[in-house]
Amino acid sequence: MSDNEQQIKLVLGQPLEADIVSADRSVVLVKAGTMVTQDLMMRLTNWLHEQERLREKQEKTGKKGARHKMRWDILKKLEFEQIVSDRTRKQLEKGCENFFSTIGKKGSPPDIAALEDAVQTMVSESPDNPDMPLKLLEMKKHSSYLFQHAMNCGVIATFVATALKYPTREIAAFALAMMLHDTGLLTVNPDSLNKMELSEKELVDIRNHPRSGYDALRTIPGVDPLALLVAIGHHVYADGSGYPDNVDFHDLPELAHLAVIINDFESLTSEKPLSEAIHMHEAIVAMLRQSEKYHPVMLSHFIRAVGFYPVTTFAQLNTGEVGVVVRNNPENLFLPEIKLVMDENGKRFPSEISVDLMRESDRWITRIKDNI
């Protein structure tokens, strides 16, 4: 490693060991001692992707970039776990972009095989680790919410189906189905998705998107039947609500019921044109409050995989201390293992203190904190 390269380990809940500086070392971007929060990690990652895009653009155009340009090859060494490697994510994005841009157009049909290959790679790479910080998958911000939603749903599907020990072939088929589930929205006027008050026609179009997605996917050679069922069933709820009207919840397979849960969870926890993201734990609580809408076994499986307090949740304890969830106890989802980061006076602990709430009867979580 040369002099001007930096390798900094990011540890959630711990202060940064060294400054993160721009490539020319003229600007301190994040000061040493700053607490590494989920928010900081996400911001850094988003920003790194921006830097990479900028670098690629500069390579193409040969132009010098902004003053604060940071070398991607240095910063990618920041260590934090990802469900999907950068290389695979790019492959997925490309496959997804090509697929969505050719669907419904004249000429050769969309290339399902390329997208399938990318999904296979994601599934084979995906570590069977329930303590993966799920929210980090939301790194890439895409201009299109639909595209980002598709990508995220594909990754969550891989994570959850892997945790539930589905066979690899089914995981891949399900992940691909989740990436394609909103294909029908491509036929809806994008303006309708960004406004509060919809006309009768716009409402009908939106409520029809599962059907139009099903119809579009059906015509594409090689699309797995599961993708058709997920497309038509991803807004069909167990209590009879949702749409389309003529699709019966009981006619759908269990993975289509899981698709409903993943779709709602991703939607609740993502920034959208008309609504703000809520915390993963709040999304779980909101879904539990309306549990009659979901397949009970699938909802329980999903929460078991993601955790009631998902890994990376910041939690305030009855003692006043603040910790970050690092592992869930399958025996009791209310009592995860946490890493204490602040004492009752808001002072940072100098070193990492792990506490397994299962084994500490005098400590428990009283509320979650968005940030610290």
For residues 116 and 182, which CB has a smaller minimum distance to Fe ion in the complex? 182
Give the nearest distance from C-beta 182 to Fe ion in angstroms. 4
Cβ 323 to Fe ion, closest distance in Å? 36
Q: How far is the CB of 42 from Fe ion (least distance, A)?
A: 25
**Per CB under 5 A, which of residues 181..200 are in contact with Fe ion?**
182
Q: Is 266 in the site for Fe ion (CB under 5 A)?
A: no
Q: Given the complex with Fe ion, which of 182 and 205 has the nearer CB atom?
A: 182
Contact pattern for Fe ion over residues 164 through 183, marking x by CB under 5 A: ------------------x-
Residue closest to Fe ion when measured from CB atoms: 182
Q: How far is the CB of 137 from Fe ion (least distance, A)?
A: 19
Q: How far is the CB of 274 from Fe ion (least distance, A)?
A: 14
Buried b (16+ CB within 10 A) or exposed e, 222-232: ebbebbbbbbb
Element holding 84 (H helix, E strand)? none
Of residues 182 and 337, the one with the C-beta less far from Fe ion: 182
Closest to Fe ion by CB, 34 vs 144, is 144
Smallest gap, in angstroms, from Cβ of residue 366 to Fe ion? 36
- Answer yes or no whether residue 52 interacts with Fe ion by CB under 5 A: no
Report the alpha-carbon distance of residue 265 to residue 81 in Å, rounded. Answer: 21
Q: Report yes or no: 153 and 302 within 8 Å, Cβ to Cβ.
A: no
Write down the least CB distance from residue 185 to Fe ion, Å.
6
Which residues are CB-neighbours of 291 under 8 A, at least 6 positions away?
A: 299
What distance in Å separates the CA atoms of residue 124 and residue 119, rounded to the nearest whole number? 9
Please say which residue, 267 or 291, places its beta carbon nearer to Fe ion: 267
Ranges within 120-139 binding Fe ion (CB under 5 A): none
Point out which residues pair with 176 in neighbouring strands.
none
**Which residue, 120 or 267, has its beta carbon nearer to Fe ion?**
267
Closest CA to 134 of 118, 168, 158, 116: 158
Total count of residues recorded for the chain? 372
Per-residue binder mask for Fe ion (CB under 5 A), 6-45, x = binder: ----------------------------------------
Q: Is the distance from CB of 278 to CB of 268 less than 8 angstroms?
A: yes
Q: Which is nearer to Fe ion, 100 or 308 (CB)?
A: 100
Q: Judged by CB, which is closer to Fe ion: 257, or 281?
A: 257
Contacts with Fe ion by CB under 5 A: the residue count is: 1
E strand segments, 262-347: 314-317, 322-329, 332-342
| Environment class of 277 (CB within 10 Å of its CB; exposed 0-12, middle 13-18, buried 19+) | middle
Find the distance separating the first CA and the last CA of the chain, reported in whole Å: 34
Number of Cβ within 10 Å of residue 350's Cβ equals: 7
CB of 303 to Fe ion, least distance (A): 22
Closest CA to 278 of 294, 289, 267: 267
Q: Please report, as ranges, the residues that interact with Fe ion according to CB under 5 A.
A: 182
